[in-house]
Structure 1
Amino acid sequence: MSKSPFRVLFVCMGNICRSPTAHAVFRKKVEEVGMADRIEIDSAGTHAYHVGEPPDKRSQQTAAKRGIRMHDLRARQVDLGDFYHYDLILAMDEDNLANLLAMQPDDATAEVKLFLRDHAPEHGHVVPDPYYGGPEGFERVFDMVEVASERLLEDIRHRIGA
């Protein structure tokens, strides 16, 4: 009998910049170590601003330059079922963490944490939103997310004994 995969959900506000970036970067790292069947990855937003839309073009361009695919991702909003389906829900900033904790049911099984603070604190506690800035903001977000994703993968491998 096979074990269920470890499930990770990345969350930002609109699910078009930061959380799909984390989703795509982490997915590539998981695939590179041959663990795609052991770790399930998704992303969502706390707000429904962009449901059904692909990631921001600037995120996609930055990803493509780094050999990361994200064109297949589509924005969705967090729902209550996510707190039972996922093992770990990682917010990109304190506002989204607060939103998640406010909607988290008392009997939820998911751990809800800040992605950067818990996996790359030397880069700060939050992944900044690059939406209103220039290309350098997207590059910075990718740099932060890549470091945090490597450490997240180490953490999950330790948790599942892989």
Structure 2
Amino acid sequence: MINVLFVCLGNICRSPMAEAIFRQKVKQAGLQNKIVTDSAGTGNWHIGKRPHEGTLAILAKYHVEDEQLVARQVVEQDLSTYDYIIAMDASNMKHLNELNTLGVNVHLHKLLDFVETSQVKDVPDPYFTGNFDEVYDLINEGCSALLAFIKDKEGI
């Protein structure tokens, strides 16, 4: 199994949105028996909570399943459990690199690094901007590119 973890700040907006969208793309590609996905936040404010209502609304708008989404905090063990850890922004990447005290060799990337044509490098946090539509579009494009990358890299 290939394990993919999406990480944002609080795990109620961007990373659960990415988890749900990516899971749907994996299922549509018939790869649900090869790729597992999850999400976490760098902060602990929302542990155990469902995603933000804006995230739930945009997922419903595009008919993306959201039932399994519950916030948790990223922990150092995740760095050795997951094959790909995908951050939403540079701040998340910084936190993940600081968390990696054991120097675990894991694929750490920002989601939009997979979208070569993207002018935006960080997925903005809709908790602060309120723009869930823009974030959905960026994450959807990033997840498509990430899945293509993983399929190519892993030969699946």
TM-score of the pair, normalised by structure 1: 0.91
Which residue of 19, 23, 26 corresponds with 2:19? 23
Q: Do the aligned residues in 1 keep the contact of 2:4 with 2:37 (CA within 8 Å)?
A: yes
For the pair 1:69 / 2:70, whether they are aligned, the reply is no
Render the CA deviation track for 1:86-114: whole Å, top value 9, x for unaligned: 11111101111101101113341322111
Say whether the 8 Å CA contact 2:49–2:70 is kept in structure 1: yes
Q: Which runs of 5+ in 2 are unaligned?
A: none
Which one is further off, 102-111 or 68-77? 102-111
Q: Specify every segment of 5 or more residues in structure 1 that has no aligned partner in the other structure, as ranges.
A: none
Residue 140 of structure 2 is aligned to residue 161 of structure 1: no
| Partner in structure 1 of residue 134 of structure 2 | 140
The percentage of counterpart residues that share the same residue type is 37
Matched, 1:45 2:41: yes
Superimposed CA distance per residue, residues 36-79 of structure 1 (whole angstroms, 9 cap, x where no aligned partner): 11001000001101000001011001100101011320000001
Q: Which is further off, 100-109 or 72-81?
A: 100-109
Q: Flag the 1:54–1:120 CA change in 2: closer, same or farther, 3 A.
A: farther
CA deviation string 1:19-39 (max 9, x = no partner): 000000000000001101100
Matches within 5 A, 1:115-134: 115-134=111-130
**Matches of 1:53 and 1:86, distance apart in 2:** 22
Query: What does residue 88 of structure 2 align with?
Result: 92
Residue 145 of structure 2 corresponds to 151
CA offset at residue 123 of structure 1? 4.2
Q: Which runs of 4+ in 1 moved over 2 A?
A: 117-121
Maintained 8 Å contact 1:7/1:40 = yes
State the superposition RMSD in angstroms: 1.2
d(CA) in 2 for partners of 1:68 and 1:44?
A: 19
- Corresponding residue SS for 1:131: helix
- May I ask how many residue pairs the two structures share in their alignment? 156
What amino acid maps onto 1:110 in structure 2?
V
